[in-house]
Amino acid sequence: MHGVKRVQYSQAALEAKKQRDHDKLKAYLALSDDVIARKKSHDMSNEAFELTTRLLRMNPEFYTVWNYRRDMFIESLFPQRSPSEVNELLSDDLSLTFELLKQHPKVYGIWNHRRWCLEHIPDGPSPDDVNGYRNSTWNKELFVVEKMLDADARNFHAWNYRRYILATMPFPPPPKSELAYTTRKIEANFSNFSAWHQRSKVLTTLWETGELDRVKSIEEEFELVRNAMYTDPDDQSVWIYHAWLIGNGNYAARLQFEITSIQELLDEQPDSKWCMESLVRYKRLLIEKHAENLGDKKALVDSCLELLAKLRDIDPPRRRRYDEIAEGIRSGNEMQ
Amino acid sequence: MTSSSQLLIPLHVRYIQSLGENKDDLTYHLTAHLRMNAVYWGLTALCIMDHKDALSKDETIEYVMSCWVDEAGAFGPHPDHDPHLLPTLSAIQILVIHDALDRIDVPRVTKFILSLQQPSGVFAGDQFGEIDTRFLYSAVNALSLLDQLHQLDVEKTVSYIKQCKNFDGGFGAVIGAESHAAQVWVCTAALAILDRLDVIDQDTLAWWLAERQLPNGGLNGRPQKLEDVCYSFWVLSSLSVLRKVSWIDADKLTSFILSAQDTENGGIADRPGDLPDVFHTIFGVAGLSLLGYPGLVDIDPVYCMPANLIESKGLRKGWEALPRKAS
């Protein structure tokens, strides 16, 4: 149970609530017993099918009933119908699950059933157009999942479903349009780490397929991130993404440039934890990976230790981590 | 008013005992699909509070066996509900706690579990094919408790987890999914059981986990999300496996968990002032155990079961929680 407030009821309110719940409970148990009995006796009638609809509206988490419904599709409903009728039947279940998702956006069983429906969309409408039904269904799905992400931009069920839809579409949109989608989501809210995550996946694909020039694209990403950092330097989403970018373009000049730029931000926001955390991270990278290009290594080491001491003060819950990093730097430095 | 600076053990024990008495409550029936998990959560919470006998052993075992689905060779969550990997793991855990594994047909359950592994290495929850790293962990945990891990294709299993690894060091539910503390726990614990912690980028993951702590002491499951008591276990258990529990503030988290107790009727909620449930009660109590809260029994963060039991089966891995405080 998440986010349901504990309420103190008056005696009268408690009695009224009990009565209401009692009536609901009686109706629920009667329906549930009926459906389970029909399932056990392998009832594949239309009436049984309608009863599962009613029960699932009351309790969409009852996965055994979704299973029963799927058995009815496979064993009884599909074999009696033409592809066009099967397509319509599944489209009705997609409407039902969309309606349920609007009320219960995080119920696994509803998302799961939606996917099952997609996997059973028949070929057609004609031999010349075997992907016709699928194409129009998948296009609708992309629309549905965007609605779900408009309502809650962090819903991981919806993001997972979105990736699934894009990966299985008969005629997928160009991957660059997904990059544009993440840009829109990020610009609407820089704190949307789900969108940054998706962006990292899309970019990786675009670099691997050569659709985007890796070096040029990383440059552009640094610009996007810089805007976000200046907008809210306390937002960890942006800094985690920045660390990923550095990992992909880890060369001395870039590190030096980012260090200078973050230092400027820190000068404006002298208590910014994430500026300090990132400076330590990137200065350590310079020391570890680019030692040959370093003029004054000692200055970098001293600056890391100074930043870590300050982090310890402004972020006491994580002080042990800062201490361990400082110990690591000191012992690494002594060894050389 | 609703918070306390102490863990109210007798109240929570009574709360767990009372869960089976709510049969005129609609919520009790709407959650029947989670009943087997709930029995495991309640029993484990009782074990950690050192009140294992507060629920009748015989009745518990009879309930578990009433959920056996013979055609499948597996357990459902409730009589007449379909078999699934999640209740099957909970049933095995309950039977191990009560030293009653002899009640089940181990070869058949093993066969059911192994039949759910997909070519990619991940496991489905049942024959309808939903996949998730939670199911992968359930399979690995169950096979390990049944002493049947030698039948698992470890390389294939680990390869799926590897592909779920993200740039932040965490893991998601499927390949491509965003890191989430609960999925981090299932992947980390599965890798611990399979002795493959080398797959994890440990410094990055421990950093990401430490950053789950919010100024109020509670932990969230992903960046820029709200705190919730259940992450106390998922983040802490992962940190225990990485031996980095000291990277967060134990006192502040302890106070946060205690503040989410229902001081009138018992139980722990997701956050202060909300309705308690058995799910947040076990994960709150388990979190406190890992933090060294005085008077509690050690929990094994890999199996989420009493640590001495796991140790006696020779299954203990190299995790490290905070030392138990004297008072």
pLDDT in tens, B285-315: 999 999 999 999 999 999 999 999 999 999 9
Stretch 57-116 of chain A: residues touching chain B, C-beta under 8 Å? 59, 61-64, 67, 70, 108, 112, 115-116
Tokens of A133: 């039904």
Q: What is the mean pLDDT of chain B?
A: 97
Determine the pLDDT at residue A180. Answer: 97
Task: Look at B279 and A1 and tell me if their CB atoms are within 8 Å.
Answer: yes
Task: Look at B26 and A1 and tell me if their CB atoms are within 8 Å.
Answer: no
- For residue B171, give the DSSP letter: B
In the block, residue with structure tokens 């009320």: A103
Task: Look at A28 and B29 and tell me if their CB atoms are within 8 Å.
Answer: yes
Tell me the residue length of chain B.
327
pLDDT tens by residue, A77-112:
999 999 999 999 999 999 999 999 999 999 999 999
Determine the pLDDT at residue B94. Answer: 98
CB distance B136 to B123 below 8 Å: yes
Tokens of B146: 């049944």
Determine the pLDDT at residue B36. Answer: 98
Helices and strands, number each (H, E), in chain B = 14, 4
Determine the pLDDT at residue B2. Answer: 45
Tokens of B312: 């006696």
Which residues touch A316 (CB under 8 Å, ≥6 apart)?
Answer: B249
Residue range B250-259: average pLDDT? Answer: 98
For residue A163, the chain B residue with the least C-alpha distance is B176
For residue B225, the chain A residue with the least C-alpha distance is A154
Which residues of chain A register pLDDT less than 70?
250, 334-336
Task: Look at B275 and A193 and tell me if their CB atoms are within 8 Å.
Answer: no
Task: Spell out which residues of chain A touch residue B223, defining contact as CB-CB under 8 Å.
Answer: 191, 193, 236-237, 240
Residue B166 has pLDDT above 80, yes or no: yes
Count Cβ atoms within 10 A of the Cβ of residue A210 and give its class: 0-12 exposed, 13-18 middle, 19 or more buried: exposed
Residue range B84-113: average pLDDT? Answer: 98
Determine the pLDDT at residue A261. Answer: 95
Count Cβ atoms within 10 A of the Cβ of residue A116 and give its class: 0-12 exposed, 13-18 middle, 19 or more buried: buried
Long-range contacts of A86-90 (CB under 8 A, 24+ apart): A86/A120, A86/A122, A87/A121, A87/A122, A87/A124, A87/A133, A87/A137, A90/A117, A90/A120, A90/A121, A90/A137
Beta-strand ranges (E) seen in chain B are 68-69, 74-75, 299-300, 305-306
Stretch 246-285 of chain A: residues touching chain B, C-beta under 8 Å? 247
pLDDT tens by residue, B127-160:
999 999 999 999 999 999 999 999 999 999 999 9
Distance from CA of A128 to the nearest CA of B (A): 31
Residue B120 has pLDDT above 60, yes or no: yes
Measured CA to CA, the distance from residue A70 to residue A52 in angstroms comes to: 10
On whether any CB of chain B is under 8 Å from the CB of A32, the answer is: yes
In the block, residue with structure tokens 């991940």: B122
Determine the pLDDT at residue B1. Answer: 40
ipTM: 0.96
Residue range B221-230: average pLDDT? Answer: 96
Determine the pLDDT at residue A77. Answer: 96
